Structures are given as structure tokens and as C-alpha cells.
Amino acid sequence: MADVMTDVEAVTPELEAAAERAESRRGVLLALPSGFYLVLFFAIPLVIVLVYSFASRSSTGLTQLRDWSLDAYQRLWDPLVGEIALRSLILAVATTAICLAVSYPFAYYIATRGPTMRNVLLVLVMIPFWSNFLVRTYAWRVLLGSDGPISQISQALGGEPIRVLFTNTAVLIGLVYGYLPFMVLPLYAALERMDWRLVEAARDLYADGWTAFRKVTWPLSRPGVIAGSILVFIPTLGAYVTPAILGGARTTLLGDYIVSQFLAARNQPFGSALSVTVMTVMLGATILYFRTGARSL
Amino acid sequence: MSISTGVRPKSPIERLLAANSWLVFLFFYAPILVLIGFSFNDNNNVGIWTEPSLRWYGAMLDNSDVVRAIRTSLIVAAVSTVVSTVLGTMAALALERFRFRGQRVYDGLVYLPIIIPDVTMAVMLLLFFAQGFRIIDSLIGWSPSFGIGTISLSHIAFSISFVAVVVRARLGQLDPSLEEAAADLYATRWQAFRRVTLPLILPGVLGGALLALTLSLDDVVVTSFVAGPGATTLPVYVFGLVRRGVTPLINAVSTAMLVASMILVGVSLVFQRTSTASPETES
């Protein structure tokens, strides 16, 4: 806007300032409804969780907004919490790594097809992406069940019945299945936008295929890698639906642990402290990831 | 696989890439297809195939809980999609086309909900509504209750940001000189928006709306926290059933939900085709 203004000579500085003020007022008016909504239904709830995490608990389990303390945060050092957090972290990192390893060549393949083929393949990726997450997770419960198709095939071939359901492996399969499209689409977008002439230039300068990939393709697709990793890592770290359907009693993750503090255990201050901690760690990790990702570009 | 340039023989890497891709597609579709197949199974036991029938679809439509949950889901999804699309599009315009004080804070406020996990969002909204209702009750002696209203308000809260991101991406690709040209031709701000900007960003707005709709129809965690005893959406109802075990009824409901989302994808593809085709042919 500003550089267009300077082209026009007859505009006085006062007029320009007034126009800018009017322009900024319009911006505020546009921002106001969503800003108001998000303050009321997002920022204030955020503050409430923060306040609750310092609250105390009566002997009957009710939250008391007095006797403020750090008790809830002290419980975070409980070995059980550490175990659950570590398990969640390992599963989230493993899910992100597997998704990346599988999606990169997959997205690369789609992005290097001809226009018609590319569109067809893309629609085939879109369908699971838009399909209901719960339903897609439930499908694995049917598949992996002790009398499910995979187990039956295994037995028909003379093998053992499959007992994967309600283990960490089942949760990992479910998470990879659930979040794979979230990795594929940003990777595809980054690779599709890429200027392939740069790769050709590298090859013309006698780079072999691997060097050209490492020095040209990979750095250029980096924004897709970062976006995809964040889109997979964040929801898997707080996953609740997948472990609830495919996991068992011994596969508690942070997501269901937090939920149980509100629905079963009724320890709201501790649940709030857990939420605040998970949120802070995630925010920190995201910012760090963006920073390092941007620097190494 | 089908399009080879003919001249160049396929390299081993190319073959590996192709094999990987077909395996990924198998991984994507096999579970869905098995689920759909079993939904037409007549047997009470999910694992044993007897003969094809529509029995469980009949059972689904006879189940008043399912029908009520579908109705709640549709109402919530409609309200949430419309409101969050309007608010999210306004937010995207404010962020991309205007400069004002406090914009950085506003930017953060719009983006933060995206990087907050579902569970935390659910906890935040539960405590907020519970506390808010207590305050209202102490002031006027009556308070609203958890139900379809709290579900809708919550869905809007987590959808606005996603709509804003999608619309903003589309706005960012747009050449601002088109709007300036409209202004030079004496169009008012509103006319320029209505006649130039809106048609051009429409695919983004529709994409955002589709995302908001899907988020609303997908959500289990936030809804189960703010639903209260009265109202249940279809995913929350199904989730409750799934936790108790696998039944052919869930297969049928799940298949119906899959078909619904596939119809949505189809409709959106048609929309995107027609709405992107017109401005591009003009330019």
C-alpha cells in the first residue's frame, strides 16, 4: 500500500496520515469480531487453566480457588508421570519419523508424475485425509482384532493368531495411519512448488543424483518437512482417541492421562498443571524447530 | 507406473519410489475397504463372514440415539462452519491486507489455537464454561447448561484459526495490484472486495469452510468434555460404543460417515474446479 502512495505526488502528508489512520481503523474493525471471540473462548480459558494449576484440592476432590500452591507441579516429578511422558514422547517421535520416512518418497513420486496422474493420485491422498479420524482408527481395531482379518490370514497360513491390539505397537500403527496424510500434503506442496530446473542445473554441473538431492531438493523441500513434522508431532504427543481405541491399560499416554484427571480422578489442579506443562513444552519445541529449520535453509 | 517417457528405461530408484507409493496406497485403503466390507456382513460377530445384507444399516436407522446424535452433529457443524468461516476470513483479511496497532499480538492469538493439542483445548473450555456458569448463577440465580450451545461455541473457537490460515495462504498468492486497479477505477473498498477480492479468494474460503466442517464432524475430545449429559454428537456416541467393543452396528455407522466425507470431498473438488476455472481463463 505505502509504496503506491508515494507514486502519487499531489497527496499531502496530512492527507496521507489521515488515509493511513482510516485504513488502520478498517483493519481493526475486521479483526475485532474474531479477536473478541478468541479472547473470550481461548485466551480467558487459557488463563483459567493456568490459575487452576495453582489451586488446591479439598478432601472430597473439589477444586478450591484458594490456598494457592505449587503442589500440582511438584507431582510432575512422580516417576509414573515421567514414565507416561517418556512413552508419549517416544511414540510421538517414532510416529513423526516413520511418517516422514514413508511420506517423503511418496510425495516425491506424486510430485514428479505428469499433471493428470498427479491430480488423480492427489485425490487418492485427499480421501483418507478428509475421512473421519475416529472411523479410520476404528478400522484398525477391526483389522487387528484377535479374530480379525489379519489374524485369520496368519492362522490360515499356519501361523500364530496376531495379538497386537492393546499394545504400544497397535497405538503406533494407529497414529502413523491417522496422521500420515498430514505429512504427505505439506511435503507434496513443497516439492510441487519446487523449481526442478535447479536440480537439472546441479546435474549439469556434474552432481550425481544423491548430491543433487542432498544439496538442492532436500533444502528446498525443508519448509514442507518442518510443516509436516509439526502437524504430526503436536497432535500425536497429546493423542487421546488412538490410545483409547487401540491401546490398553498399560499404554497410558499424556492425552488420556490428562483426560483421566478430569473425568475419573477428579484432580483438576494436577490435570491443569499437566496441560500447562505439555502446552509449554510443545510451544517451545515448535518455536525451536522453526528457528533451527529456518537457519539451516 | 503408467506414464513412462518411453525413451529412458526406468531406473531402480524410480521402481522403488513406485513400489513405495503403491504400498502407501494399500496402507491407506485396505483398512477402510475391510471396514466397508464387514458393514454389509449379516453375522452378529464382526470377524466371521456369513452373507451380505443391509441388516446393520436398518438397525442404525432404527436406533433413536444414533439418529439424535446425527441431528446434533449436523446442527453443530452447520453453525460452527458458517460462523468460523466468516470470522476466519475477516481475520485473514485483517492480517494480510491491513496494518494496525496490536497486529502482532492478534496474529499470535489467531495462530496459537492451532498448536494447542485437543486435550488441552478441551480442558481449557471445560473449566471456562464451568467457572463462567457458576459466576452467571451467582449473579442472576440461573445459569445456562452444557449442551449443543457449548459444543458449537467450542467448535467455532478451534476452527477460526484453521480457516484464517487457509484463506490467508490464498490471499498471499493474490496480486494486490488487482484490488488497486479496481480502486483506480473508482470502486469503493466494498465494491473492490465484493467484485475482485472475494471471487479470487473464494476457493480459499471454501477450502477453509470444508476444513472447519471436517474439524467439527471429526472432533471427539473437545466435544466429550463440553457436551454435558443432554447432547451427544455422532463421533462422541460412536467413540463410546467403540470403547465397549467392536460391533457390526459401528461398522455400518462408520461406513455411513466415510461415505459422507467422500461426498464432501467430491463436492469440494467440483467447487474448486469451477471457481478456479473462471478467474484463470479471464487472466
Residue A103 with chain B: CB contacts under 8 Å: 24
Instruction: Look at the block and give the residue holding cell 461415505.
Output: B259
**3-state class (DSSP) for residue A56:** strand
Q: What is the pLDDT of residue A294?
A: 58
| Partner-chain contact B47 A245, CB within 8 Å | no
Residue B46 with chain A: CB contacts under 8 Å: 142, 145, 147-148
- What is the residue type of B218? D
pLDDT digits (tens, 9 = 90+) for A142-195: 888 877 788 888 888 887 777 888 889 999 999 999 999 999 999 998 898 888
Just give the CATH number of B63-282: 1.10.3720.10
pLDDT digits (tens, 9 = 90+) for B17-27: 999 999 999 99
**Between B48, B100, B220, which is nearest A27 by CB?**
B100
SS (H, E, C) chain B: CCCCCCCCCCCHHHHHHHHHHHHHHHHHHHHHHHHHHHHCECCCCCCCCCCECCHHHHHHHHCHHHHHHHHHHHHHHHHHHHHHHHHHHHHHHHHHHCCCCCHHHHHHHHHHHHHCCHHHHHHHHHHHHHHHHHHHHHHHCCCCCCCHHHHHHHHHHHHHHHHHHHHHHHHHHCCHHHHHHHHHCCCCHHHHHHHHHHHHHHHHHHHHHHHHHHHHHHCCHHHHHHCCCCCCCHHHHHHHHHHHCCCHHHHHHHHHHHHHHHHHHHHHHHHHHHHHHHHHHHC
Q: Delimit the domains of chain B by residue range.
A: 63-282
Q: Delimit the domains of chain A by residue range.
A: 2-52, 72-295
Alpha-carbon dihedral sign for residues B265, B267, B270, B274: negative
User: Hey, of A3, A23, A135, which one would you mutate to test binding to chain B, going by the most B CBs within 10 A of its CB?
Assistant: A135
User: HSE of A29 in the Cβ direction (CA atoms, 13 Å)?
Assistant: 6
Nearest Cα residue in chain A from B122: A259
Q: In whole angstroms, what is the distance from residue A147 CA to residue B48 CA? A: 8
pLDDT digits (tens, 9 = 90+) for B81-94: 999 999 999 999 99
**Between A25, A52, A102, which is nearest B24 by CB?**
A102
At residue B236, φ and ψ (nearest 5 deg) are -65, -40
Residue by residue, pLDDT tens for chain A (297 residues) are: 455 555 555 678 888 888 888 888 888 999 999 999 999 999 999 999 999 999 988 877 778 888 888 888 999 999 999 999 999 999 999 999 999 999 999 999 999 998 899 989 998 998 888 889 999 999 999 888 877 788 888 888 887 777 888 889 999 999 999 999 999 999 998 898 888 888 888 888 888 888 888 888 898 888 889 889 988 998 898 899 999 999 887 778 999 899 989 887 788 999 999 999 999 988 888 888 777 765 554
| Partner-chain contact B261 A131, CB within 8 Å | yes
| Partner-chain contact A128 B32, CB within 8 Å | yes
Express as a percent the part of chain A with pLDDT over 70: 95
Is the pLDDT reported for residue B279 higher than 60?
A: no
Please name the fold of domain A72-295: MetI-like fold (1.10.3720)
ipTM, two decimals, is 0.88
User: Hey, of A131, A137, A153, which one would you mutate to test binding to chain B, going by the most B CBs within 10 A of its CB?
Assistant: A131
Q: In whole angstroms, what is the distance from residue A113 CA to residue A240 CA? A: 37
Residue B257 with chain A: CB contacts under 8 Å: 131-132, 135
